[in-house]
C-alpha cells in the first residue's frame, strides 16, 4: 500500500486491530498536500520502486487536489487501484454520506484527527499565520463552520478542535466518523 502520510497513524491502527499481516505500507510525506501537483509523480516513483516485489499495489490517496492526474498516473502504471474519493474527509465520513452533505457544506472547514493534531504546524505555520495572524480572516473568511470528524474518541483532540474553531471564529460541529471507507478499502487488497 502506498499511502498519504496524513493517514499513517490510522493505517497502523487498522493493521494492528485487524491483524492484517498481508499488508506492507509505505507513506509519502503529508506536506505534499501543500503542492498537490507533486503527488502523482511521487506516487509513480513509489509504484516503480515496489513493482516486482508485490503481487498487488494499492494506493491510499484521495484525488487530493491533483485534478485527476493521480488517476492518470495509476492508469499509466498498469491500472493500479486507489481508495475511492476526492480526499480523506470524504472517505473517512463515507463517500456516499459526504456527497450527500457536501453541497450544503461548501463553507465548512474539515478536520480529521491528523489535521487537528498537526493544525499549528501543517496549517497555521505553513500559511505563515503564526507571523501574520491578521491574514487568518483572508484565508478562512469564507468558512462559517469547522467540522471535526475524528477517527478515534479523544477528549484532548476534541478540545483542540474546539479551540481551533474559536481561533478561526467558526461555529464548531462534531461528527464522529471513525475510519469510514478506509477500513473496507484496506480489507479488500
What average pLDDT score do residues 110-121 get? 97
Banded pLDDT at 31 (limits 50, 70, 90): very high
pLDDT score for 104? 83
What average pLDDT score do residues 32-38 get? 95
What average pLDDT score do residues 77-86 get? 96
**Contact by Cβ (8 Å): 3, 91:** no
Nearest Cα to Cα of residue 185 among 60, 50, 33: 60
Of 10-19, 119-128, 139-148, the range with the lowest mean pLDDT is: 10-19
pLDDT score for 179? 95
**Contact by Cβ (8 Å): 152, 113:** yes
Higher pLDDT among residues 189 and 141, named by residue = 141
pLDDT score for 25? 93
With pLDDT > 70 as the criterion, what percentage of the chain qualifies? 99
Higher pLDDT among residues 36 and 21, named by residue = 36
Banded pLDDT at 189 (limits 50, 70, 90): low
Banded pLDDT at 19 (limits 50, 70, 90): confident
**Would you say residue 188 has pLDDT above 80?**
no
Please count the other Cβ atoms lying within 10 Å of the Cβ belonging to residue 155.
7
Measured distance CA(46)–CA(1) in Å, rounded: 10
SS3 9: helix
Strands (E), 89-157: 108-111, 145-148
**Would you say residue 72 has pLDDT above 70?**
yes
Amino acid at each position: 500500500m502506498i499511502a498519504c502520510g496524513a493517514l499513517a497513524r490510522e493505517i497502523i491502527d487498522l493493521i494492528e486491530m485487524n491483524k492484517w499481516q498481508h499488508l506492507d505500507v509505505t507513506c509519502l510525506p503529508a506536506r505534499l498536500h501543500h503542492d498537490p501537483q507533486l503527488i502523482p509523480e511521487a506516487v509513480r516513483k513509489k509504484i516503480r520502486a515496489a513493482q516486482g516485489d508485490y503481487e498487488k499495489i494499492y494506493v491510499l490517496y484521495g484525488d487530493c487536489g491533483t485534478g485527476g492526474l493521480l488517476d492518470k498516473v495509476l492508469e499509466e502504471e498498469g491500472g493500479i487501484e486507489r481508495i475511492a474519493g476526492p480526499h480523506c474527509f470524504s472517505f473517512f465520513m463515507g463517500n456516499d454520506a459526504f456527497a450527500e452533505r457536501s453541497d450544503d457544506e461548501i463553507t465548512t472547514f474539515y478536520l480529521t484527527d491528523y489535521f487537528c493534531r498537526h493544525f499549528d504546524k501543517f496549517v497555521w505555520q505553513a500559511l505563515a499565520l503564526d507571523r501574520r495572524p491578521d491574514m487568518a480572516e483572508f484565508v478562512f473568511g469564507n468558512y462559517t463552520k469547522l467540522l471535526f470528524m475524528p477517527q478515534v474518541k479523544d477528549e484532548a483532540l476534541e478540545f483542540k478542535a474546539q479551540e481551533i474553531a474559536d481561533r478561526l471564529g467558526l461555529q464548531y460541529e462534531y461528527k464522529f466518523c471513525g475510519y469510514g471507507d478506509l477500513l473496507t478499502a484496506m480489507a479488500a487488497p
